[in-house]
Amino acid sequence: MNTVFKRMKKCCNVTLIFMSLIMFSTIAKATQCSTLEFVSTKKNNEVYVAMISAHNDQAIEKTDNKYDILDGEHSYYLEEGMHTLIVEQWPAKKFRRLRKNNRISKKYLPVDKSTQILSLNVTAGRHYQLEFFKDKQEPSIRIKNDSAQLCSIDKNEVLAAKADHNFTDKLEDINLPSSLEYRLRKLMNRIAKFHNFEKIETQSNFIHARVNAYIGTSIDNEYKDNGKALKVLSVLPYSLAHKLQLMSGDKITHLGGKVIEADKRHPNQQLNDYFNELQLGEEIEIGLLRNNISKQLVGTYKPNVVPELSYQLDLSSSKHSQSIVKQLKRLPIELQFELDQLTIELSNYYRSKNHNLEYVNIARNKALDKRIGFSGNKIVFPDNVGLKVYEIEENSFAEYLGLKVNDVVMSINGEEITTDNIEQTLNSLSSLKLGEEISISIFRNEKLITLTNEYLPQVFVGFNFLVNLKSISVVKENLELIGNNNKWHEFNEKIRNTPRKYRWTNPNRNAPDRPRVSPAPRNPSSSNNGTK
């Protein structure tokens, strides 16, 4: 009896040690995760609930925790680090009717559903309460409460992070070519101006990776060749049009084998309509005239991917430097287009240089714009030389000074422009000090005018610009899946449209072989000797 008791005691001691190890292991795991929950809100006396519908580009089945979400008792467990979330807000009554595979009966549509995309940078051992609301008709999310809380949950239930919590401290800041650098700094100034004009509280933004919908061409406003052609005016680098090798001056005569016919649509709209009807992976066929020679351009419809990016403005402000939540703020179409195009160029630059990076971090402090902001061509007169202005940059010092297109610059600060000193004279402008007087003599309308003012260059804002290069491959993988689904859809359509007696059936229904359409039956009059 004593022997049995001793064995039981020994067994209990081992069990207690084992349980202690489990508890210690759980606590160890807890230091690596945080908890997240959404607070229900009310609009027009109706209760609304919020939930995560996708995490790091992977869909989440909302019905798995439907009743906990409705009761406000569901928590998400997130590994320490960065996460990309798509959050949906539903009216509680409609969400209750949600079925498996996130389906809802048509009679309950349309649902007053709002969606927001955000980047979340969480710290282990914290509990975040998020509140979904509408600000200026735009959906928005804010942190209602952030408190310390132990995260004790099995590791399998924790949503994995995309990057370490402090990974931005480890990122290498790589220099850019001067042209890209200058365009980025000018663009960030325009974006900062938009934030200030719209009085956006946060000086940060997050833009999810997506397919670039722009073809990358500008088309003449009028049909050419008696309504039988679309004239290409310009082609953007790194665009779909550029990949197809379209060129300025091309006259598009055929799209998908069909002849161009002028109609009520704008010429550009006719081109857009053709691309909008294409499915991913489908062949592109463009017939055109180039220097009066017919050419056929053939390619595959694989649009560019704009990688995931986020930016932080006004780095000097500690108020914004540690943002936990960065969420989508819609930019004006022109700004978004320019940002998309520049981000594609940045990602192509880094990949062309074989930088083995998943993330690119571009951090810049405030600085003065040393460029005057005009471009000109040299003009030689009988007695001297001048620079004829053909471009004035928006919001530049040249614009502030009063320079205009077609002005001819003759001298700068009393130094006449000559063939020998033209480059040196222009470079002298970059050495001017803030507030120093500058005078430029110009010919305008056959009169000699001197423009004088204090040198007050534009100030470049400080910013942090983070590009997720890894997101490009993730989107491309998703596009491949969509493309395969489209191919299966087309295949199933062929099957349905094929007479039953000509269909091929698999004798082993459980075999993994995919069904295929059988060849057409042989002509009964042909001999059965194996020839076709």
- Rg, Å, the chain Cα set: 32
pLDDT grade for 188, boundaries at 50, 70 and 90:
very high
Q: Which residues contact 527 (CB under 8 A, 6 or more apart)?
A: none
In the chain, the percentage of residues whose pLDDT exceeds 70 is 80
The two tokens of residue 445 are 């309308």
The model's pLDDT over 416-428, given as tens digits with 9 standing for 90+, comes to 887 777 777 776 6
Return d(Cα 258, Cα 265) in angstroms, integer.
16
pLDDT at residue 260, rounded to an integer: 93
pLDDT at residue 249, rounded to an integer: 93
Strands (E), 244-370: 251-255, 258-259, 283-290, 293-300, 305-306, 308-313, 325-327, 359-364, 367-368
The two tokens of residue 179 are 């042209």
Answer yes or no: is pLDDT of 226 > 50: yes
pLDDT at residue 16, rounded to an integer: 42
pLDDT at residue 321, rounded to an integer: 43
Maximum C-alpha span of the chain: 123
Answer yes or no: is pLDDT of 255 > 90: yes
DSSP lists the bridge partners of residue 312 as 204, 464
pLDDT at residue 490, rounded to an integer: 56
pLDDT grade for 483, boundaries at 50, 70 and 90:
low
Q: Which secondary structure element, helix H or strand E, spans residue 126, and what is its range?
A: strand 126-135
- Counting runs of H as helices and runs of E as strands, what totals does the chain give? 11, 30
Answer yes or no: is pLDDT of 147 > 80: yes
Q: Strand 415-416 and strand 437-444: pairing?
A: unpaired
CA nearest 112: which of 29, 175, 56, 48? 48
pLDDT at residue 100, rounded to an integer: 81
pLDDT at residue 223, rounded to an integer: 94
- Contact in structure between 271 and 217 (CB atoms under 8 Å): yes
> Quick check: helix, strand or coil at residue 216?
coil
pLDDT at residue 531, rounded to an integer: 34
pLDDT at residue 78, rounded to an integer: 93
pLDDT at residue 523, rounded to an integer: 37
The model's pLDDT over 151-177, given as tens digits with 9 standing for 90+, comes to 877 777 899 998 877 777 677 667 888
Mean pLDDT of 118-128: 90
Compute the mean pLDDT over every residue in the chain, rounded to the nearest whole number.
79
**Looking at residue 528, what DSSP letter applies?**
S
DSSP lists the bridge partners of residue 83 as 120
Q: Which residues contact 27 (CB under 8 A, 6 or more apart)?
A: 150, 152
Kindly give the interhelix angle for 333-352 and 178-197, rounded to the nearest 10 degrees.
Answer: 150
12 or 428, greater pLDDT: 428
Matching residue, tokens 């005016």: 233
Mean pLDDT of 282-291: 92
